[in-house]
């Protein structure tokens, strides 16, 4: 979806259309930007940016509080449209999904025709626009979906994958962030995907570990991850951003215990247990770290979760640095009493397919 949160507000309030709209906390409340309209993005405003910085970049920006229940409801309508075209829908977030239409072309006859129909039907039902990428796999479809926003449609047939990817910056590949980009540049003078193709797989693995092998494939447009209907919940978490930085170690520990109790109670209510506990800490300068530990037995016991989270706290600098945000999460979930975790294998090879990312 195109600037989804902001688009919902702009659709429902014509006075906001064409103006720089920012969804998030107010500049006065130490909030952060959750989403921004394209008009706001023109001023360099981006998600996760402090609202105070967004205000400095655009003094006349309109700040609106997020309404997540409203966005989830709207998302439900949109995903209903997706499932009218194929049952193989993998949601990435409330406003993004992969659709495998290989076996569901129906009367449309091609993935491109399906994409056009999806765009039209989403607009008719919701009044919102969606940008769609069509490609032979998830990697290509995702990159294509970001290629021509807003309201875009980019189609990359299998025979054009090499040509499409070659000139793009390496940051377009999933998993390549600032740190990996720097390592690739310093070690191999890699800037584009074409540059990356000249690097041996063994060299990438020596620098990046197992991800180096995947990156070698990604540079060639190879991605065997299937599109999987992930309707089963994979994690449960709670986090909080504080209006004033936390500096008292005891207060920080108390907050972690409270969050662990909240997560444990929520999991128990849904009859879930989990084996991997994750602590999230954001310091006053917005540096964010996560620490995880996998338990021998899955649990939803608040005390066990709290003990593990406090153990992970010792692997951070939270007791000596001011803390802006704390979060506790549990993943590798299992229905209580079940033997196997509800984690889906995303590395199984699948036949050549047509994937739509919307």
Each residue's pLDDT tens digit, 234-279: 788 888 888 889 999 999 999 999 999 999 998 898 888 999 999 9
96 catalytically annotated: yes
Beta strand 62-64 pairing with 89-93 = unpaired
Which residue in the list 96, 230, 258, 261 is annotated as catalytic?
96
Q: Is the pTM of this model over 0.75?
A: no
Q: Name, in order, each residue with C-beta under 8 angstroms of 310's C-beta and a sequence gap of 6 or more.
A: 253, 256, 257
Each residue's pLDDT tens digit, 290-349: 999 999 999 999 999 999 999 999 999 999 999 999 999 999 888 776 544 444 333 333
Domain boundaries, the chain: 4-66, 235-335
CA–CA dist 273, 342 (Å, integer): 10
DSSP assignment of 2-42 equals: -SHHHHHHHHH-GGGTTS-EEEE--GGGT-BEEEE-HHHHT
330 phi and psi, to 5 degrees? -130, 135
Each residue's pLDDT tens digit, 136-176: 999 999 999 999 999 999 999 999 999 999 999 999 999 89
CA–CA dist 112, 79 (Å, integer): 19
Provide the CATH number for the domain formed by 4-66 in this structure: 3.40.1170.60
Each residue's pLDDT tens digit, 186-205: 999 999 999 999 999 999 99
Is the CATH number of domain 235-335 3.30.1490.100?
yes
């Amino acid at each position: 979806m195109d600037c989804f949160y902001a688009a919902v507000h702009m659709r429902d309030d014509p006075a906001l259309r064409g103006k720089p709209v920012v969804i998030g906390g107010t500049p006065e409340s130490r909030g952060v930007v959750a989403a921004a309209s394209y008009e706001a993005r023109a001023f360099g405003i981006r998600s996760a940016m402090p609202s105070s910085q967004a205000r400095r970049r655009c003094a006349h920006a309109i700040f609106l509080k997020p309404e997540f229940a409203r966005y989830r409801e709207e998302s439900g309508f949109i995903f209903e449209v997706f499932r009218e075209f194929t049952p193989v829908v993998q949601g990435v977030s409330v406003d993004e999904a992969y659709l495998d239409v290989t076996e569901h072309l129906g009367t449309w006859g091609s993935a491109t025709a399906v994409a056009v129909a999806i765009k039209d039907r989403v607009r008719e039902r919701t009044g919102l626009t969606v940008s769609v990428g069509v490609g032979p796999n998830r990697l290509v479809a995702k990159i294509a979906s970001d290629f021509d926003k807003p309201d875009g449609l980019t189609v990359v047939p299998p025979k054009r994958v090499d040509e499409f990817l070659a000139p793009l910056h390496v940051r377009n590949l999933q998993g390549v962030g600032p740190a990996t980009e720097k390592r690739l540049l310093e070690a191999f003078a890699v800037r584009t995907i074409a540059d990356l193709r000249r690097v041996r797989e063994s060299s990438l693995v020596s620098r990046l570990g197992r991800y180096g092998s995947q990156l070698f494939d990604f540079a060639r447009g190879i991605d065997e991850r299937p599109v999987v209907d992930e309707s089963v919940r994979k994690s449960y978490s709670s986090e909080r951003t504080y209006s004033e930085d936390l500096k008292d170690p005891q207060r920080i520990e108390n907050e972690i215990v409270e969050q662990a109790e909240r997560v444990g109670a929520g999991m128990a209510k849904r009859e879930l247990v989990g084996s991997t506990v994750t602590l999230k800490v954001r310091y006053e300068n917005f540096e964010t770290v996560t620490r995880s530990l996998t338990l021998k037995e899955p649990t939803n016991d608040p005390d066990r979760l709290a003990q593990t989270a406090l153990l992970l706290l010792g692997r951070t600098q939270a007791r000596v640095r001011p803390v802006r945000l704390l979060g506790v999460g549990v993943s590798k979930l299992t229905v209580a009493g079940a033997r196997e975790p509800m984690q889906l294998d995303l590395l199984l090879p699948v036949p050549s397919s047509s994937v739509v990312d919307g």
